[in-house]
Amino acid sequence: MLLTANGLRCVTGRLLMPVLGAWQAELLVDAADFAHGAIALEATGLRLVGTTQVVGTFRGAAHVVAVGGGGGLGKELPPKAWTGPQLQLVLDELLAAAGETRSSSSSAAVLERVLPRWQRLSSTAKFAIQEIADAAGASWRILDDGSLWIGFETWPETTTAVQVLTSSESKQRATLGLEAASLRPGTTLSGRRIVAVDYYFSSPGVRAEVEYGSDGADRLRAAIRKLVHQDVPIDRLTVHRAVVVAQSADLSTVDVMPDDKSLVDGTAKVPLRTPPGVTISMSKGARVHLVFEDRSPAGMVAIPSEPSNLTVWHFDGGTKSVARVDDKVSCGTAALVFNSGALITVIPDNAGATAAIAAAIAVTGNVVVDLRSTIREGATKLKA
């Protein structure tokens, strides 16, 4: 079967098409040189659109390595935070920055999903895409036309005619002979789900090695997650420090500016985590810790870190100030009327009940007395 790259004959070629991610091709093209940039691979049952990554020469032929799509999945993207976004917004902004396009056949159920918040770390595009897919429990891959599809697998039965050359049940792999390179991952062959197709093109013909597995997508997703996590410089298990810029009126969220600009270059609105039943008013400039709940990009929250920056604590939604045992209280004043020459007993504030100091004070007319006392009991639910 003849394989061509931009219309030029390929002496040999290998094409790996996984159920998750972009296809990759390694080709030996019958040409003295080969232009960098867009590439179209064609064979019977196959027309792929991609981008060259490596171009060199080997024994007078062009050695080409290409990937599906625009070649931007490995691009480093800056951090960014969203509040209440649809996944479509997050994905489309990401793809535009990476130079990729979204397939119109992508699942609306994924794209229309709304999240309370989303935090993209400074990372590669492929890592950011994988996190979006994980949040929706979806798959993603680069299609034949070079666009990125995201959605839920349906595993349709393939119509490609194949001849089984070898098969290994223990490895869940098989080598197939084909007349057309139309077999794709994400389909079913004789009731078995195909999670990867590895094509080998040579002058006699083409063969394909396929990997099966009912849970193959999950296994491959885990492998990809493990691989792409190496591209992320910030582990979501790390505690980060930030300064509070503003706080919402209901005290439930804070706008923060992280010290580490690779986390967010600017400000982000995140929930303020406090003990159950407690809300806290924080002053501008207060310091907080930022952590990711469940290591999720939708899970960044702030935790107060310095008690001196907490201006008011509210318990159970209360708005009145709370008095403590031994706090002073004012009980108002009382006007007393004495006959001429009456004597009164004076007890200083700091004297005990048995330490009254009688003072012979002659009083005539009205005397205003400031009534004060000390709290002896308090609510056991509150300590302040």
Whole-Å CA distances, 156 to 160, 173, 194, 257, 274: 12, 19, 10, 48, 48
Segments of 264-327 assigned E as strands: 268-271, 278-282, 287-292, 300-304, 310-315
**Statement to judge: residues 128 and 277 lie in one domain:** no
**Statement to judge: residues 295 and 338 lie in one domain:** no
Rounded to whole angstroms, the Cα distance separating 217 from 20 reads 7
Cβ distance 302 to 254 under 8 Å?
yes
Q: Facing residues of 166 across strands?
A: 175
Answer yes or no: is 167 within a domain: yes
Residue 209 has pLDDT above 70, yes or no: yes
Q: Facing residues of 122 across strands?
A: none
Least confident piece of the model among 113-117, 245-249, 323-327, 341-345: 341-345
pLDDT (tens digit, 9 = 90+) per residue, 47-60?
A: 999 999 988 987 88
The H or E element containing residue 221 is helix 216-228
Quote the number of domains for the chain. 3
**Statement to judge: residues 98 and 143 lie in one domain:** yes
**Statement to judge: residues 152 and 290 lie in one domain:** no
Rounded to whole angstroms, the Cα distance separating 91 from 263 reads 18
Q: How many CB atoms within 10 Å of residue 124?
A: 19
Domain containing residue 347: 328-374
Answer yes or no: is 191 within a domain: yes
**Statement to judge: residues 61 and 145 lie in one domain:** yes
What pLDDT, on a 0 to 100 scale, did the predictor assign at position 193?
Answer: 94
Answer yes or no: is 307 within a domain: yes
Q: Which of 74, 6, 72, 80 is nearest to 36 (CA)?
A: 6
Tokens of 203: 């002058």
Q: Facing residues of 193 across strands?
A: 188
**Statement to judge: residues 176 and 295 lie in one domain:** no
Q: Facing residues of 295 across strands?
A: none
Cβ distance 6 to 41 under 8 Å?
no
Comparing 163 with 375, the larger pLDDT belongs to 163
**Statement to judge: residues 162 and 218 lie in one domain:** yes
Residue 282 has pLDDT above 90, yes or no: no
Answer yes or no: is 380 within a domain: no
**Statement to judge: residues 82 and 182 lie in one domain:** yes
Of the residues 176, 210, 231, the one at which a domain ends: 231
160-164: average pLDDT? 91
Residue 134 has pLDDT above 50, yes or no: yes
Q: Find the CATH number of the domain harbouring 277.
A: 2.40.50.230
The H or E element containing residue 47 is strand 46-58
Answer yes or no: is 112 within a domain: yes
Answer yes or no: is 166 within a domain: yes
Whole-Å CA distances, 233 to 125, 229, 256, 296, 309: 14, 9, 21, 15, 30
Tokens of 175: 């080598």
Tokens of 169: 């049940």
Predicted TM-score (pTM) of the model is 0.71
Rounded to whole angstroms, the Cα distance separating 162 from 64 reads 28
Output DSSP code: residue 158: P
Of the residues 177, 212, 231, the one at which a domain ends: 231
Answer yes or no: is 382 within a domain: no
**Statement to judge: residues 219 and 251 lie in one domain:** no
Cβ distance 247 to 310 under 8 Å?
no
Comparing 311 with 380, the larger pLDDT belongs to 311
Answer yes or no: is 299 within a domain: yes
Residue 160 has pLDDT above 70, yes or no: yes
**Statement to judge: residues 213 and 310 lie in one domain:** no
Q: Facing residues of 63 across strands?
A: 28, 56
**Statement to judge: residues 128 and 64 lie in one domain:** yes
Rounded to whole angstroms, the Cα distance separating 132 from 147 reads 16
Of the residues 231, 260, 294, the one at which a domain ends: 231
Cβ distance 66 to 17 under 8 Å?
no
Give the pLDDT band (50/70/90) at residue 33: confident
Q: Please report the sign of the dihedral spanned by the C-alpha atoms of residue 114, residue 117, residue 122, residue 123.
A: negative
Rounded to whole angstroms, the Cα distance separating 196 from 213 reads 10
**Statement to judge: residues 244 and 225 lie in one domain:** no
Helices 216-228 + 125-136 axis angle, to 10: 140
321-349: average pLDDT? 64
